[in-house]
Structure 1
Amino acid sequence: MEDQYRSIPGDFVMFSGYPCSWTFYHHIREEILHEFTFHDFLKEQTNTFLRRIRGEQKNVTYVGVHVRRGDYIHVMPNVWKGVIADKKYLDTAMAYFRNKYKNVVFVVTSNGMDWSKENIDNSKGDVFFSDDPKQSSPADDIAILAHCNHTIMTVGTFGYWVGYLAGGETIYLTNFTLPESPFLKLFKYEAAFLPEWIGLPADLSPLLPNGNGK
């Protein structure tokens, strides 16, 4: 954040546009975490869900996975010259946690659940989807993800806030647009994601003329 904006007069300030940078508010992180708490009924149903998927396992490490699809499937390539997370990205991010922690349980939420179920590797039986046994709401999803130990996000502010509220380690998709993307006039990677978060570069080959990066 530029120095001229570090001291703004007035008790309340409203940001317009996309003020999605930790540089605006990270110095009051504890206050944010206190304010952004969940209602007791959400906490109760979230903990019930997490206990159910844990089963008999002990010392489980929960990793929340948010897969953003929906309108981004079209907006990212057609408007912003970018991509969204693919299967390889999710495989790599999940492998990181599987290799680092024991008894990992992945909890997947998405606005493209069919794609997620087809592309996320559950051969180890350690992946659970938030719509099992019934469709979850956005409130359910963010509560579940924020109660996890770590986060895998893809793109979008929903996933960002999940990682910010959950704490722990967060893996995110980085370099997901071409260098000439107009999106970069609004978005700065270094200001959008916390320095300690782990960025995995996107595969931009689908945006190239021959579609395979060769």
Structure 2
Amino acid sequence: MKADHFIRTSTKSGYKKVCIHIRRGDFLKERQLRNGFSVADLTYIKRAKEVFLKRYSKVQFVVLSNDKKWCKMHIKGDVISNFTEPGDDMALMALCDDVVVTSGTFGWWGAWLSGGTTVYFKGYPRPMSPIDRRFNRTEYYPPHWIGL
């Protein structure tokens, strides 16, 4: 399995593996933004990382994204997945101990499958947007997940 090989060869043994799933790409299109799709900024990602840095003495972040170029420019010191197939990304999220999700259902499912602690972006969907008016946050985000 590619994801298992990636974890074994790209991360440090004995460290908690925390996946950060960063959804960008199509969520940045004008129509999507108007409807209420939103993209987490670096401030959110830094705050989410702090949750795990305070929790664990040894933590390693593994970044997955549909915008690897942006991640390589803005996120330093973390392992960035080189996978191009969604199934490989999903398997990698499921293998991580904990997950940080930004926006969208793909990251949500990866966090669910991981079964660990999940930190999610409370700005998705954008509050008071057309999507938000039809969105039930209490049904979408499990109560034990941490919203930032």
Per the normalisation by structure 2, the TM-score is 0.90
Tell me the CA shift for residue 168 of structure 1. 0.8
Corresponding residue number in structure 1 for 2:24: 69
CA contact (8 A) 1:63 1:150 kept: yes
Q: Are residues 1:46 and 2:3 paired?
A: yes
**Structure 2 stretches of 5 or more lacking a match?**
none
**Structure 2: how far apart are the matches of 1:104 and 1:170?**
15
**Structure 2: how far apart are the matches of 1:111 and 1:54?**
21
**Structure 1: how far apart are the matches of 2:137 and 2:4?**
33
Tell me the CA shift for residue 192 of structure 1. 0.5
**How do 1:1-12 and structure 2 match up within 5 A?**
none
Which one has a bigger Cα radius of gyration? 1
**How do 1:29-108 and structure 2 match up within 5 A?**
44-55=1-12, 57=13, 59-74=14-29, 75-80=31-36, 82-108=37-63
The one-letter code sitting in structure 1 at the alignment partner of 2:71 is S
RMSD over aligned Cα, in angstroms? 1.5
Tell me the CA shift for residue 47 of structure 1. 1.7
Structure showing greater relative contact order (alpha-carbon pairs closer than 8 Å, 6 or more residues apart) = 2
CA contact (8 A) 2:38 2:103 kept: no
Corresponding residue number in structure 2 for 1:153: 101
Higher helix share: 2
Tell me the CA shift for residue 156 of structure 1. 0.4
CA contact (8 A) 1:90 1:120 kept: no
The one-letter code sitting in structure 2 at the alignment partner of 1:45 is K
The one-letter code sitting in structure 2 at the alignment partner of 1:110 is S
Change over 3 Å in CA distance of 1:113–1:101 after alignment to 2: same
Q: Are residues 1:178 and 2:135 paired?
A: no
CA contact (8 A) 2:38 2:123 kept: no
**Structure 1: how far apart are the matches of 2:46 and 2:65?**
16
**Structure 1 stretches of 5 or more lacking a match?**
1-43, 201-214
**Structure 2: how far apart are the matches of 1:66 and 1:141?**
9
The one-letter code sitting in structure 2 at the alignment partner of 1:102 is S
CA contact (8 A) 2:40 2:123 kept: no
Identify the match of residue 141 of structure 2 among 193, 197, 211. Answer: 193
Change over 3 Å in CA distance of 1:182–1:146 after alignment to 2: same
Q: What is the count of residue pairs matched by the alignment?
A: 146
Q: Which runs of 4+ in 1 moved over 4 A?
A: none
Tell me the CA shift for residue 189 of structure 1. 1.1
Per the normalisation by structure 1, the TM-score is 0.64
CA contact (8 A) 1:67 1:111 kept: yes
Tell me the CA shift for residue 185 of structure 1. 2.9
The one-letter code sitting in structure 2 at the alignment partner of 1:157 is T
Tell me the CA shift for residue 61 of structure 1. 0.4
Tell me the CA shift for residue 166 of structure 1. 0.4
Q: Are residues 1:137 and 2:85 paired?
A: yes
